[in-house]
Structure 1
Amino acid sequence: MGTSRDCKRIVREHRAMYLDPTNQAATFYEPIRSAFRRAVSSIDPAVVLDGAVRKATKAQLPHYEELQSGFMMWWSRTKATGVPVRDGEWVEGGLVVTLRQLIGVRCTDGTTFVVFPYVKSPEMNQAAADLLLRILEREMERLLPGGTPVVLDVRRSKTYRLRRNTNRHELDALLAGEAAKYVAHWQAAA
């Protein structure tokens, strides 16, 4: 949802990250994201996250410590247990978005949620979260039937949900346009 210059920069960075086998950027957060999934089903989630932080590289360490703190703050407020959630794929106009390392939780009232842990440094906002939430909502039957999507800005321990009055038709149109734009930039950069 950025300017043309932003889109070109993002696609250029993605091409470097995904097409260069020596680039490790795509896996930078994988250990801590995996630890989040294990933590929600653990008797002692702090120990699980401590293990991931201890194994972090020098570059990862400050990020992992911040993520651990935010995650534990969120989890301490969440009265839930972990449940399995499947990986999935959202496909739109030639763009394939892989949905993995999602967190499944069941609250004490029986409701289930599929949580997308947003781990990057820039703060999440509702407009960006709505796009992710709609993608998750559209794929929910494959991920965790009956679940509700949530985006968790882990560093800030803040959650986002779709509002009841969200115009899903408009979100779907926006997603289709953004996917087409991304694919066009990707192909043009080839």
Structure 2
Amino acid sequence: MSAVRHPKLGVVVDFANCVPGAQTRIVSDQRRMYLDEGRQPWAYYGPMVAAIRRALADPAPQLALELAVAKVEEPAKHGHFVELQKGFLRWHEGFAGSLVPVGAGSWIGDDAIFDVHPQLGLRPAKGPKLAVQLYMKEPELRPDAAAVPLHMMRSVMDQVLPGGVPAILDVRRGKLLLPSRRRSDKRLDADVAGVVAHWAAIWRAIA
């Protein structure tokens, strides 16, 4: 078992989505974040995650988000939160359903172990329950990049949300991404193995 342990699944999302040539910089930034609590993305975006949860249970979702945005004084962060608010509300307009409890799990591979803890559990009016990972970064999340963490999530759904389906919500774009039907499990297994091995090799090399 590798010594690379327990980063969150979000690092895989960002790594799989980065442009060629940027992988080392991305992993270096991720490593610094894990060593500096103030720079961790769940601390930066935490108030918006909490506001999104409240909005999903609130008959006035826009107000719930506006309250979170209004509390942000730093101009750049305020701008990010405004974009997240707009994107979430675009998606929410087409969503009918409710929140459900969602758990956590661990994806265990030869090169790394990742914590899988989706921020939302949803029960849509139609279809299966969803375990939703929130993606809040500026670059648009490409479907081919999302396929890797979605496949990883799918393998631990018995721990996270039994009977559910994994999903990633690109909050800024208001776009929900679901597991790909275009690739076989064998192909997706290979894609995951390649991405994780590449990520882990860089993580170890820059230690």
**Structure 2 residue 86 is the aligned partner of structure 1 residue 69:** yes
CA shift, 1:26, in A, is 5.1
Out of 168, 176, 181, the position equivalent to 2:185 is 168
Higher mean alpha-carbon deviation, 4-13 vs 27-36, is at 4-13
CA shift, 1:27, in A, is 2.0
Q: CA offsets, 1:3-30, max 9 Å, x none?
A: 7742211121112111134535552112
1:111-190 equivalences under 5 Å are: 111-190=128-207
Out of 33, 47, 50, the position equivalent to 1:17 is 33
CA distance in 1, matches of 2:168, 2:205: 31
1:73-92 equivalences under 5 Å are: 73-92=90-109
CA distance in 2, matches of 1:21, 1:109: 39
CA distance in 2, matches of 1:3, 1:80: 35
Runs of 4+ residues over 4 Å off in structure 1:
1-4
Higher mean alpha-carbon deviation, 86-95 vs 179-188, is at 86-95
Larger RCO (CA within 8 A; separation ≥ 6): 2
Cα distance change of structure 1 residues 186 and 161 upon mapping to structure 2, 3 Å threshold: same
CA distance in 1, matches of 2:86, 2:116: 24
Structure 1 spans left out of the alignment, 5+ residues: none
- Identity across matched positions, percent: 35
TM-score by length of 2: 0.82
RMSD: 2.1
Structure 2 spans left out of the alignment, 5+ residues: 1-15
1:16-55 equivalences under 5 Å are: 16-25=32-41, 27-55=43-71
TM-score by length of 1: 0.88
Cα distance change of structure 1 residues 31 and 89 upon mapping to structure 2, 3 Å threshold: farther
Aligned length: 190
